[in-house]
Amino acid sequence: MNNSIVNVPEPVNEPIKDYKPNSPEKDSVLATYKNLKDSKTDIKMWIGGKFIESSKTSNMSPPHDHKHILGKYYLAEKKHVEMAIKSALDAKEKWAEMRWEERAAIFLKAAELVAGPYRDRINAATMLAQSKTIFQAEIDAACELVDFLKFNVFSMQHIYSQQPKSDSGVWNRLGYRPLEGFVYAVTPFNFTAISGNLPGSAAMMGNTVVWKPSDHQIFSAKIVIDIFREAGLPDGVINAVYGDPEMITNTILESKHFAGIHFTGSTSVFKGLWKKIGGNIENYNSYPRIVGETGGKDFIIGHKSADVDEFVTAVIRGAFEFQGQKCSAASRVYVPNSLSKKFFSKLESEIAKIKMGSPEDFKNFMTAVIHEASFDKLVNAIENAKTDKDAEVVIGGGYDKSKGYFIEPTVIKTSNPKYYSMETELFGPVVTIYEYDDNKWDETLKIVDETSEYALTGAVFCEDRYILSDAVNKLKNCAGNFYINDKCTGAVVGQQPFGGARGSGTNDKAGSYLNLLRWVSPRLIKEVFVPPKDFKYPFMG
Ligand code: NAD
């Protein structure tokens, strides 16, 4: 038995590799991409440490080459979900009783595996499954996942060390128990790092988990599973099932041992889950924790004092990187009249330089959107804007799904600040711009605040400090992550804890101690060393 009080390593953010032309890292990741592309991978469910097949499968294809088959995955039946719940419950006691340093070691090892031997595989799988360029894959699947794992371990130690005061003759101790029961993690397609973090952070705090990844990310989720296994995660601590989200969720929510949900995805799905949990509340052993990070309608507003080159660069990177499929992507922009001419001319000439195609070609800045339903929804919005009286497509507006789901970077200009695409999350490379009167800055800030149900990210470009500090205050409730003279995407774990309020989620800040606190149930132990032997108090004479 080691009786020391240990310190975990101080985390630093994982350095981002460049993948420059002729670099060894470029050759290496491309070779892995080619291997994985032709691998015909068979992905089984992961339950109780075993890989489980079912009678039904579904194919996986890269969004930029949808006729190509990467492999198949097995779809859960109700009995598989029940098996996963049982495995999580069976694994619970041993895992919860394990010393926290041992849990930390497993996740620190996972971080090193991502950063080193698995880096190419997890990046290449993300390029194929979610159609990310190498840079977008690197900052997500490699760097952000490493950061989540390392910073969470550090936060876990920080939480466990928080202790109450003790009076003389008394010792108060606070223990941080995992939740009673199991946690359900539901992850979106768009970040491989999130797919590892949602089940991983709850498990790190001593919980066992049933995890349902998005159907459109299973190819890269499997690499996360391989990493957890190699890092030594015991059987049954995390169990992965795939397929029908309704059936899987209903089966999970029927269990009285359901202790919490760690969700990231769209707002409507999260609201539906919250209602179902509320409807079942009498059935549970405790009040389930409900943590959800959801949609956004993220804005950039430029003041007349803004630097136009900086403003335009932020709009292009914020709106079009990863085809606008980040929850934080800029999708509504406010431009003052006085900058409008210069702004649109620069925006057009810069967008003309954007290349789009397969992520295999590193010259491409953009690739395809995730699936046909997303493509069709975006096309519909673009076509409507072409005919609507209060909107016009001023840049882009083309699309083609013959090989992959490609949508051109598209700019809609509207005269109506409440136009459909100013309010609704489209989740694609479409940004809508409203031009406002320079003299109506205050009114425009109010419009920014009141336009959508979301409050995830937002940015202001402004060189006037009085105006800036006023705007930061006036916009305080419309973004959980607010940026000054920067794009509204690209939050880094440990630096910009991420999450939004209003319709954008419970704002529990993934990758920070605030999130990890949701996965523990503190227990206070008070010990009195010399207890009184007489019930009477002095005031009673
Ligand atoms: P989605 O809501 O379609 O799916 C998310 C997950 O929920 C998937 O695993 C999916 O299978 C599951 N799901 C779908 N319907 C369900 C149902 N009826 N019951 C239970 N589960 C169900 O979202 P997506 O397309 O994968 O991801 C994009 C969305 O996620 C966007 O709205 C984006 O803004 C949001 N997002 C938010 C954050 C954040 O931190 N705020 C981060 C990433 C993505």
- Please give the tally of structural domains in the chain: 2
Is residue 391 domain-shared with residue 509, that is, in the same domain? no
Cα distance between residue 238 and residue 47, in whole Å: 8
Is residue 258 domain-shared with residue 340, that is, in the same domain? no
Cα distance between residue 450 and residue 477, in whole Å: 10
* pLDDT of the residue at 2: 74
Q: Is 143 a catalytic residue?
A: no
CA-wise closest residue to 239 among 60, 94, 91: 91
Distance 67 CA to ligand 1 centre (A): 24
CA-wise closest residue to 322 among 375, 363, 352, 365: 365
Cβ–ligand 1 distance for 184 under 6 Å, the answer no
Strand-pairing partners, residue 459, are 300, 483
Task: Note whether 292 and 264 are within 8 A (CB).
Answer: yes
Is residue 247 domain-shared with residue 396, that is, in the same domain? no
Within 10 angstroms of residue 27's Cβ, the number of other Cβ atoms is 11
* pLDDT of the residue at 339: 98
- The helix (run of H) or strand (run of E) holding residue 226 is helix 218-231
Could you tell me the CATH number of the domain that includes residue 243? Answer: 3.40.605.10
Structure tokens at 513: 């101690």
Rounded mean pLDDT for each run of 10 residues along the chain, 541 residues in total: 88 98 98 97 98 98 98 98 98 98 98 98 98 98 98 98 98 98 98 98 98 98 98 98 98 98 98 98 98 98 98 98 98 98 98 98 98 98 98 98 98 98 98 98 98 97 98 97 98 97 98 98 98 96 87
* pLDDT of the residue at 541: 87
Inside any domain, residue 115? yes
Query: What's the pTM value of the predicted model, to 2 decimals?
Result: 0.98
The residue whose CA is least distant from atom 28 of ligand 1 is 265
Cβ–ligand 1 distance for 240 under 6 Å, the answer no
Helix residue spans in 177-323 (DSSP H): 192-204, 218-231, 245-254, 267-279, 308-320
Is residue 145 domain-shared with residue 225, that is, in the same domain? yes
Chain segment 15-25, per-residue pLDDT in tens = 999 999 999 99
Is residue 147 domain-shared with residue 231, that is, in the same domain? yes
Chain segment 250-264, per-residue pLDDT in tens = 999 999 999 999 999
Inside any domain, residue 490? no
Inside any domain, residue 494? no
Inside any domain, residue 499? no
Q: Is 293 a catalytic residue?
A: yes
Domain extent at residue 233: 24-57+70-294+505-525
Cβ neighbours for 309, distance < 8 A, ≥ 6 positions apart: 346
Inside any domain, residue 473? yes
Chain segment 387-404, per-residue pLDDT in tens = 999 999 999 999 999 999
Is residue 205 domain-shared with residue 282, that is, in the same domain? yes
Is residue 155 domain-shared with residue 288, that is, in the same domain? yes
Residue of 14, 143, 321, 327 with catalytic role = 327
DSSP 3-state of 324:
helix
Cβ–ligand 1 distance for 508 under 6 Å, the answer no
* pLDDT of the residue at 1: 61
Inside any domain, residue 394? yes
Distance 382 CA to ligand 1 centre (A): 23
Cβ neighbours for 359, distance < 8 A, ≥ 6 positions apart: 33, 64, 127, 128, 131, 132, 133, 134, 137, 367
Could you tell me the CATH number of the domain that includes residue 399? Answer: 3.40.309.10
Structure tokens at 245: 């989200």
Give the CB-side neighbour count of residue 122, counting CA atoms within 13 A.
Answer: 31
Is residue 268 domain-shared with residue 306, that is, in the same domain? no
Inside any domain, residue 174? yes
Cα distance between residue 480 and residue 233, in whole Å: 33
CA-wise closest residue to 265 among 303, 225, 216: 216
Cα distance between residue 151 and residue 169, in whole Å: 37
Is residue 263 domain-shared with residue 358, that is, in the same domain? no
Is residue 241 domain-shared with residue 158, that is, in the same domain? yes
Cα distance between residue 52 and residue 74, in whole Å: 8
Cβ–ligand 1 distance for 186 under 6 Å, the answer yes
Task: Note whether 115 and 14 are within 8 A (CB).
Answer: yes
